Structure 1
Amino acid sequence: MMIDTPAEKPFHRLLLTGAAGGLGQVLRERIKPWAHIVRLSDRAGMGEAGDGEEIVQCDLADKSAVLALTEGVDAVLHFGGISVEDRFEPIMQANILGLYNLYEAVHKSGVKRVVYASSNHVTGFYRNTEIVDADMPLRPDGFYGLSKCFGEALSRYYYDRVGIETVCLRIGSSFEQPKNARMMTTYLGYDDLVELLRCALFTPRVGHTIVFGTSDNDASWWDNRKASHLGFRPTDSSRRFKYLFPDTAERPGDDPATIFQGGPFVTAGPMY
Structure 2
Amino acid sequence: MRRIAMTGAAGRVGTLLRPFLRQHVEHLSLIDVHEPADLADNESFVGADLSRLDEAIAALNGIDGVVHLAGLAGGVDMTALLQANVLGAYNLYEAARINRVERVVYASSNHATGFYPRGQIISPIDPMRPDSPYGLSKCWGELVAGLYYDTSGIRSLSIRIGNAGAYPNSERSIAIWISARDLAQLVEIGLTHPSIAATVVYGVSDTDEKWWDNDLATRLGYQPQDRPRDYARIEDRTEGRVARAFQGGGFCEINHDGDIRLRDAEGLVRKPETVS
The TM-score normalised by the length of structure 1 is: 0.89
Tell me if structure 2 keeps the 8 A contact 1:48–1:55: no
Distance 2:211 2:15 in 1: 28
Letter in 2 for 1:256: V
CA change 1:271–1:14 in 2 (3 A) is farther
CA change 1:35–1:269 in 2 (3 A) is farther
Letter in 2 for 1:264: G
Q: Which residue of 1 aligns with 2:65?
A: 75
Give the drift of 1:28: 2.0
2:159 corresponds to 1:169: yes
SS across alignment from 1:167: strand
Which one of 209, 219, 225 corresponds to residue 235 of structure 1? 225
SS across alignment from 2:112: helix
2:141 corresponds to 1:178: no
Which one of 17, 25, 32 corresponds to residue 7 of structure 2? 17
Distance 1:71 1:184 in 2: 39
Map of 1:243-262 to 2, 5 A cutoff? Answer: 244=234, 255-262=241-248
Letter in 1 for 2:109: S
Distance 2:233 2:20 in 1: 29
Query: 1:220-250 CA distances to partner (integer Å, 9 max, x unpaired)?
Result: 110112334321011211122467379x9x9
Letter in 2 for 1:41: I
Distance 1:251 1:80 in 2: 28
Distance 1:40 1:14 in 2: 9
CA change 1:156–1:175 in 2 (3 A) is same
Instruction: Report the RMSD for the aligned CA atoms in angstroms.
Output: 2.2
Give the drift of 1:25: 0.8
2:90 corresponds to 1:104: no
Query: 1:160-180 CA distances to partner (integer Å, 9 max, x unpaired)?
Result: 111110000000001221121
Give the drift of 1:134: 1.1
Q: Which residue of 2 aligns with 1:268?
A: 254
Q: Which runs of 5+ in 2 are unaligned?
A: 259-276
The TM-score normalised by the length of structure 2 is: 0.88
Distance 1:193 1:129 in 2: 25
Give the drift of 1:45: 2.9
Q: Which residue of 1 aligns with 2:45?
A: 55
Report sequence identity in percent.
38
Q: Which residue of 2 aligns with 1:113?
A: 103
More displaced 10-residue stretch of structure 1: 203-212 or 258-267: 203-212
SS across alignment from 1:205: coil
Tell me if structure 2 keeps the 8 A contact 1:85–1:265: no
Q: Which residue of 2 aligns with 1:64?
A: 54
Tell me if structure 1 keeps the 8 A contact 2:186–2:203: yes
Distance 2:112 2:124 in 1: 11
Q: Which runs of 5+ in 1 are unaligned?
A: 1-9
Which one of 191, 199, 208 corresponds to residue 218 of structure 1? 208
More displaced 10-residue stretch of structure 1: 14-23 or 43-52: 43-52
Q: Which residue of 1 aligns with 2:125?
A: 135
Tell me if structure 2 keeps the 8 A contact 1:86–1:269: no
CA change 1:218–1:163 in 2 (3 A) is same
Give the drift of 1:270: 9.2
Distance 1:178 1:269 in 2: 26
Tell me if structure 1 keeps the 8 A contact 2:108–2:141: yes
Distance 1:198 1:70 in 2: 19
Q: Which residue of 2 aligns with 1:200?
A: 190
SS across alignment from 2:66: strand
Tell me if structure 1 keeps the 8 A contact 2:169–2:232: no
Query: 1:67-103 CA distances to partner (integer Å, 9 max, x unpaired)?
Result: 0011100000000011112311100001101111110
Letter in 2 for 1:61: S
